Amino acid sequence: MNWLLNISTHGSDLDIAGPNWSEAASLLRRTGMDGFELYPAGAYDCTAIPKEIVGGIHLRFFVMLRQIWRDDREGLLRIFDSEETVRHYYGGVNREAVISCYRSQLELAARFGVPYVVFHPVHYELEYVFNWQPPWSWQETVDLSAEIINEVVRDTPYDGWILFENLWWPGNFRLDSTDEIDRLLSKVRWPKCGIVLDTGHILNKNQELRTEEEAIAFLLREVERLGDYRKLIRAVHLSKSLSGEAAKAGFANADPFGGAHDFWQRFSIALRHVRDLDRHEPFSHSMLGELFDLIEPDNVVFELAFSSLGEWIGKVERQKRALQRFFPECRIKEDLY
């Protein structure tokens, strides 16, 4: 297995990556990790990134896709308030902006020679972020996602794996049943498709989890329930999220956007809540190793939240200690104290 870290081209991550990504390369050597899963954001020139440190690409997470894909002008204005905001969010005002974005990111993946890219089969809208009661089905979301991917890959130099990542919101690809996988893969016209298992997103589905042991036991049951479909899991986003109380508080909030006057204020409120739900914390219990008795992914990404290099290293080391059979040097370090 390749062991990767998550990084983006947002300014805060670039500050940590350092000039010419020298600090990022140093971080890999220091932590014993193999590379980064890169989330390209903004207008950053990704050719500045050393090719050898990139192990995968996470495609843009637009979240809201139905209205722009269907050219629903009324729906777009209902969500975004103005055409200018639509253009700022997507880079355009119609589906060509989405296609262009994804095709350029697949071209980037081809230039880096990465073995996989990640795509979220998702459509969600801000008004349902708190109550989790969207008026559409997961089937509609899966069909929309397949349609988008099929259009994007019609003209691409990329020839690697497209891996579909689970989320926790109802009406989306949650891995609640293998029917979701069957429907998605039957509709996507690409020869190399698989799954990214996001462990934190699995845990976010269950608001009753209180301890890490309960969380890992739930995770193992959910993965075991997939049966032979576990073989499709080619990558894992590994992080812990115990956020049941935050989710319940959201369910109980009758007016979460009170006082918000425009899309960006509503978006900021929703984003804060999503971050409260999706914690991206490291596991620390050795029971975590049992996950890899059930699956054999090619890549495992320590997908962790951090605000400084020191915090990042500390979280990486904590999760490595939970996986000591893969990182025996952690046991050696502990024995020295």
The pLDDT value recorded for residue 328 is 86
CA-to-CA dists, residue 29 to 35, 143, 173, angstroms:
9, 42, 35
- What CATH number does residue 134 fall under? 3.20.20.150
d(CA 256, CA 241) in angstroms, rounded, equals 22
Q: Residue 211 domain-assigned?
A: yes
d(CA 175, CA 183) in angstroms, rounded, equals 12
Which residues are CB-neighbours of 211 under 8 A, at least 6 positions away? 242
The pLDDT value recorded for residue 189 is 98
Contact 5, 27 (CB under 8 A): yes
Residue 12 has pLDDT above 90, yes or no: yes
Q: Which of 1, 2, 34, 30 is nearest to 16 (CA)?
A: 30
d(CA 183, CA 94) in angstroms, rounded, equals 26
User: What interhelical angle do 83-90 and 95-112 show, nearest 10?
Assistant: 10
Residue 332 has pLDDT above 50, yes or no: no
Residue 331 has pLDDT above 70, yes or no: no
Q: What is the pLDDT of residues 128-145, one digit of tens each?
A: 999 999 999 999 999 999
d(CA 297, CA 323) in angstroms, rounded, equals 15
Q: Residue 332 domain-assigned?
A: no
Q: Tell me the average pLDDT of the chain.
A: 96
Q: Residue 336 domain-assigned?
A: no
Question: For residue 57, what is the enclosing H or E element?
Answer: strand 54-58
Q: What is the pLDDT of residues 42-59, one digit of tens each?
A: 889 998 999 999 999 999
The pLDDT value recorded for residue 261 is 94
The pLDDT value recorded for residue 333 is 53
Residue 4 has pLDDT above 70, yes or no: yes
Contact 200, 278 (CB under 8 A): yes
Q: How many domains does the chain have?
A: 1
Domain that holds residue 251: 2-323
Q: Residue 331 domain-assigned?
A: no
DSSP annotation string for 242-301: --HHHHHHHHH-S-TTTT--SHHHHHHHHHHHHHHH---BPP--GGGGGHHHH---SEEE
d(CA 102, CA 114) in angstroms, rounded, equals 15
Which has the minimum average pLDDT: 73-87, 306-320, 321-335? 321-335
DSSP state of 191: S
Q: Over pLDDT 70: what percentage of the chain?
A: 98
Q: Residue 334 domain-assigned?
A: no
Q: Residue 25 domain-assigned?
A: yes
Residue 335 has pLDDT above 80, yes or no: no
Q: Residue 330 domain-assigned?
A: no
d(CA 256, CA 287) in angstroms, rounded, equals 37
DSSP annotation string for 132-187: ---SS-HHHHHHHHHHHHHHHGGG-S--SEEEEEP-SSTTS---SSHHHHHHHHHH
Q: Residue 145 domain-assigned?
A: yes
Residue 221 has pLDDT above 90, yes or no: yes
The pLDDT value recorded for residue 329 is 75
DSSP state of 214: H
d(CA 120, CA 171) in angstroms, rounded, equals 13
Residue 330 has pLDDT above 90, yes or no: no
